[in-house]
Chains A and B, each alone.
Chain A
C-alpha cells in the first residue's frame, strides 16, 4: 500500500505540473470540459476521481447540482482530457456559447453551480492488517484513483486526525466487542489474531481493555468533527460509534471481551447528549444475540428479527437553498436497491431532531442515509456494507468495481468524498 501511495504521489506531482503548464502555455480548444453524470456517462465512479485530482492539481472545477445527474465542469486541459481518455470517462467540450446556455438553465431551475476549491485530505480509519471483508469506501477510492491515508488507533491516539479534512470509518465496532463475531468465529485464526492485536494495542496505549480504548477513539473522532472535520461512516461503524459515545460511563461490553457482563442497568445509564445522530436507543442485552441495539432496522444477523431488503429513495433538496444535502444525493438514479450490512438502516424513532434524512424506504420505519452538523463539522451515515453486493458475507471476495462503474449506490459514497471540496456558501434558509 505504501508503495502504491508513493507511486500515486509521484503521478500527482506530474499531473500538477502538466496541468499548470497546459493552462499557461497551450491554447485550449474549448473553454471548459463538461463531465456529464446522467446516463450518458460511461464511468460515473472514475469521474469523481478525475474531478478530485483536477482540483488537487489546481484546476478550476464546479459541481453542477441537479444538472444532468450532478455533472462536473472542469478546466479544459490536455492532461484532464488524457486522464478522461485513459479511464473511459465521458467528457464534452463546452464553448462559451454553450456554457452560457447551461448557466441560464441552472439559474432558472432547481439547480446550482458550486465551485470546488480544495481537495480534502482523506483518512480511512482501518486496521493495518487485511480482514476477511472489504470496505466499500476504500474500494471506491482505489477505483476512482483518489489518494487516502490509512490510520488506526495509534495514529488517532497521538492526535493525527488533525492532519485530515475527511475521515471514513472502516467497519469498526467502537463498543470494542469486534461485532460480536466471537459468537461464530472465536476459533477462526483471523478472529483470534484480531482479538490479540486489539487487546495488545489497548494495553500498550494505557487502556484496561479494548472497549475502553475504542470509547476513547470514538471521543477523539467526535472531537475531530466538532473542530470542523467531515466524518463519513457506513455499516456497523455508524451504530457502534454512537453507542460508544453514549456509553462513556457505563459498561456495555459483554464478558467475552472484557471479562465482565454488561451493566444490567446500562440502557438507563446511556448518555445520549454525547452522540451525533441517535438518542434513546435500547441496547441488546443478550451476549448471544448478534445485534448491538435497536438503532438498526434490519437486524440482519438475528434470524427472528431480520427484515427483507427493499429499495430506498433519495430525497430531492433545493439545490440553491440546501446545497450540502443536494450534493450528498447527486445521482442518476433516485431509487436504489438496498443492501445489508451489520447495520443496514437506522430506525426513525431513534433519530435526533435536526438530523437530515437523505434517503429512506417508503413505508418502512427506518431510513438509509442521514447527515447532520456537529460543532463546526459534519457527519454522514450510510447504512449497509456494499451497495453492489447486497448479501455480502465474511470471506466473500471484494467487489470488482470495474464491473459496476455506473453504480448509483457507490456514487453516494463518492459524493461524500467530494462535497468537502465545495466552497462554503451561507444557507439561505
Chain B
C-alpha cells in the first residue's frame, strides 16, 4: 500500500513537471492541460461532497491526462461507492494497453476483479502482468495481498513461492510471506519472514506485532528466539517488545530492548517503550527505559520523565539524582514550574520536608497561589512522615482556608484523634487509597468526636511502622468496644502482612469469638482461610470457608469464599 501511494505521488509530480515543460510551446495546449486539471480537481471536490455520480465522468475525462493515475484511483473510489466497479474494467484495458508497465493500472485491475469476484479473470490478469514485467516482484506481491485479504493464505503462500522461483529471491516479498504464514498458524515461519521484512521496512513494526499477537503460548519462545537472535536488529526488537506487551509480559518487552546498542534509533525505541509503560503505571520499567535513553542523550524532558517514574516507583532519592535543579541552567521560572513539584514530593517522601520548604521559599515568587498551596500540602505530608505534627499543622495553616479543608488536613485531624473534623474532610476527599477506605470505614462506624488512640495508630501506620501500628490498633480496639472488631481486624491484617501469623491468628480467633455478629467476623474467617490455604492446610481452610458460607450466607464475602473453596478443592484451575 505504501509503495502504491509513493508511486501515485510520483506520478502526480511527474505529471506537474510535464505540464510545466509544455507551457511555453502552445497556449492552446496549456489551456487544454489546465482544463484537464480543472476536471480532476472538480471531481475531487464532488467526491468529497459525496456526489459520486457527478464525480465519475470528470475522473473518467481526466484518465488520459497527466493526472491520469490519480484520476483512475478517484474513479475506482467513485465507482465503488456507486456499486459500478465493473465499469472500470474497460477503461483499465485501454490504459494498460497504452502503458503496460504502470503498476497502479495493474494493481487497480487486480483489485477490481477481486471485488467483482471474478477469480478466473483475476488470475489471468495476474499472469498477464507477470508476462509484461517478468523481473518485477510487484505482480506477486499485489496478488498475494489480495489473496490474503480473502483469507486464502495457502494460495497467497503459493504465489509468493511462484515469485521466488521466477525471480530467484523472495526478498521483496517477505511481508506477504510473513502474513501468509501467520494466517496459516505457522508462527515460527512467519516470525522468520517478519524478521527479514523488518530489516528493510522498519515501518512494519506494528504490523508484525499485530500479525504475531495470536501466537499460542507453546510457540512464543521460538518467536522470541527469532527476534532476539544476533545480530541485533532494532526493528525486530521493537516488534518483539510490542508483542511481549500484548502477551502481558511487559518485563520481557523491556528485555527485548535493553540490550540495543545506544544510538538515536535505540533511544527512540526506549522512549516509546517508556511512554507505554507510563500509560500502564509500570513505573519501574518506565524508569529503566528512560534511564537508558538518558545515557544516550540527556534532555530535560527525558530527565523529568525518568525522575517522575522513579518517584512513582517508590525511589524518591533517585528522582533527585535524575533531574537535578542544575539541568534547568538557572532558569528560575522553569525550576518553579517543572522541577520544584517533583523535588518537593521526593523530599517529602524521603522525610526531608525542611529542604523542601527552603526550596519553596527560594522559588516562591515564580509560583501561582494555587501551585504554592499544592506544594505546601505536599510538604505538610513530609512533616507528617517525620512525626512533626505541629509543623505539618503550621504548614497547612499558612495556606489559609484551602489548606484547612484539604485531604491532608483531614488526615492530620485523624492523626490527632479529632474524629469530628476528620469525618468532615476525609469524606469529601479526592484520594483513593486502602488507607482512606479503612479510615472512612472507621469514621462511618465510630460516632464519637474524639479518639486519640485511633489517631495514634493511624499516624504510626503513616510513618511506616506496621508492627507498632498493629499493636496500637489492638490497644485502641481494647479501649473502644464500638469499633473493636474493625480495629482488631486491621491489626490482624497488618500482622499477617508483616509475617507475624501467630498474632494474626489470635486476633482472628478473638473476632470470631467476641464479635461474631459484626461484618469483620466473615472477613476475619476469609482472611484466616486464605492464610491457611497458603500454608497448605487444606482441611482447616475448608472448615473455615464452609463455616463462613453457611454462617453468613448474606455476607458480600460469600462469592469470594466460594471461589476460595473451589481453589482449595482444585475444582477450578489456579489463577495464572
Contact = CB atoms under 8 A, between A and B. Distances in A.
A304 B154 CA distance: 7
Interface stretch (B128-136, B346-354, B568-576): B568-576
Given A301-B185, A398-B573, A132 B550 contact: no
Nearest to A8: B569
Given A143-B572, A400-B572, A394 B565 contact: no
Contacts of B546: 86
B153 interface: yes
Interface residues of A, number: 32
Interface in B526-573: 538, 546, 549-550, 553, 558-559, 562-563, 565-566, 569-573
B183 interface: yes
Interface string A364-407: 00000000000000000000000000000111111111100000
Interface residues of B, number: 34
A303 B576 CA distance: 31
A184 B553 contact: no
B1 interface: no
Contact of A142 (B214, B220, B572, B576): B572
A87 B154 contact: no
B34 interface: no
Nearest to B558: A88
Given A85-B550, A142-B572, A184-B185, A402 B563 contact: yes
A188 B217 CA distance: 11
B156 to A, nearest CB: 10
Interface in B145-185: 151-155, 183-185
B518 interface: no
Contact of A303 (B153, B558, B569): B153
A306 B185 CA distance: 12
B219 A395 contact: yes
B186 interface: yes
Contacts of A393: 214, 216
Contacts of A88: 558-559, 562
B218 interface: yes
B570 A142 contact: yes
Contacts of A402: 562-563, 566, 571-572
Nearest to B570: A4
A82 interface: yes
B76 to A, nearest CB: 28
A214 B303 CA distance: 65
A96 B562 CA distance: 32
Question: By CB atoms of chain A within 10 A, which of B185, B550, B559, B575 has the most?
Answer: B185
A145 interface: yes
Contacts of B558: 88
Interface of A: 4, 7, 82, 85-88, 132, 134, 139, 142-143, 145, 184-185, 187-188, 190, 301, 303-304, 306, 393-402
Given A88-B558, A394-B217, 16 more contacts: A85-B549, A132-B217, A132-B218, A143-B566, A145-B569, A184-B185, A184-B186, A190-B218, A304-B153, A306-B151, A396-B217, A397-B573, A399-B573, A400-B572, A401-B572, A402-B562
25 contacts: A7-B538, A82-B550, A85-B550, A85-B553, A86-B562, A86-B565, A88-B559, A132-B218, A142-B570, A143-B566, A145-B571, A184-B185, A184-B219, A303-B151, A303-B154, A304-B153, A304-B154, A394-B217, A396-B217, A397-B576, A398-B573, A401-B572, A402-B562, A402-B563, A402-B572
